[in-house]
Structure 1
Amino acid sequence: MSATKTSAGMSTEELRDFYLQYVALANKREFDRMADFAHEEVIMNGTPVKMADMVAEFYRHVDAVPDLHWEIQDLVVEGDRVAARLIDTGTPVREWNGLAATGASVSFAETAFYQVEDGKFKVMSYLMDTDAVRRQLAG
């Protein structure tokens, strides 16, 4: 029996694996492979963003937090949508998101939502718990 394809052109299991591969890409710093995962332009938190700018943002994050690691806690796939709750960890070595590096390591929640179109991310939204980061860096 073949798996039912979603409007994303993938089965639920394929879409789940696609997202797992995307997070693995981030953790391995293979941002130059982003074309395998995202359209040339995506809607990021409601704003059109070019893939090159999205890649540059990833590099900005790992430049400031070289050991930044994304760990999936919850993953829900429904139709062409993916929702994830992650715990992100790392130690900022320079200013990051307007916060000074203090030598402290941080662990914070990130919630992310995606819509996949033609086998790639088209809409991406995320929210990071920057208050938790601020408290942890302040000591």
Structure 2
Amino acid sequence: MTRTELADLYRGYIDCLNHQAWDTLGHFVHPQVTYNGTPVGLEGYRTMLERDFREIPDLVFRIQLLVADPPTVAARLNFNVSPRAEFFDLPINGKTVTFDENVFYEFVDGKIAHVWSVIDKAAIKAQL
């Protein structure tokens, strides 16, 4: 897979998330996906994302920076959201917060097999 093909595949994955097209998530995510070193599998990954969208009704993934170097993608994602209650153990309760996530993905067999995510919790805390 070329850099362009991998970047396009990743953009398709983000589109899948933003449209909550859970039935197509398996086109992008490996059945044995890991998240921050923990095996969660496709169903666990989907459950995590569905929970995020329930707790954050206005959740939209916005790509700020994207680097594709097969089999790896690095992205900086931006969020401007209003979580319903606590968020990362912080009392957000509907307040709008803006923050970034730096995330790395390793693709295996054309699907996301490993995800490493770091969210800027300090930025969220500073807005409270």
Q: TM-score range by the shorter chain?
A: over 0.9
Q: Percent identity?
A: 34
Shift of 1:30: 1.4
TM-score relative to the length of structure 1: 0.85
Shift of 1:64: 0.9
1:70 and 1:89 in contact (8 A); partners too: no
1:69 and 1:88 in contact (8 A); partners too: yes
Is 97-106 or 120-129 further displaced after alignment? 97-106
**Match runs of 1:11-30 below 5 Å:** 11-30=2-21
- Corresponding residue number in structure 1 for 2:43: 52
Structure 1: gaps (5+ residues): 1-9
1:73 and 1:87 in contact (8 A); partners too: yes
Amino acid in the other structure paired with 2:20: R
TM-score relative to the length of structure 2: 0.92
2:86 and 2:93 in contact (8 A); partners too: no
Amino acid in the other structure paired with 1:132: A
- Corresponding residue number in structure 2 for 1:3: none
RMSD in angstroms over aligned alpha carbons? Answer: 1.3
Q: Secondary structure at the match of 1:13?
A: helix
Count of aligned pairs:
128
- Structure 1 residue 107 corresponds to structure 2 residue 59: no
Distance 1:132 1:111 in 2: 13
Distance 1:32 1:53 in 2: 14
Whose Rg is larger?
A: 1
Shift of 1:34: 1.3
Q: Which runs of 4+ in 1 moved over 3 A?
A: none
Distance 1:114 1:65 in 2: 23
Aligned match of 2:34 in 24, 29, 43?
A: 43
Q: Deviations over 1:88-107 (max 9, x none)?
A: 12111122332223331011
Distance 1:34 1:95 in 2: 27
Is 79-88 or 29-38 further displaced after alignment? 29-38
Amino acid in the other structure paired with 1:64: E
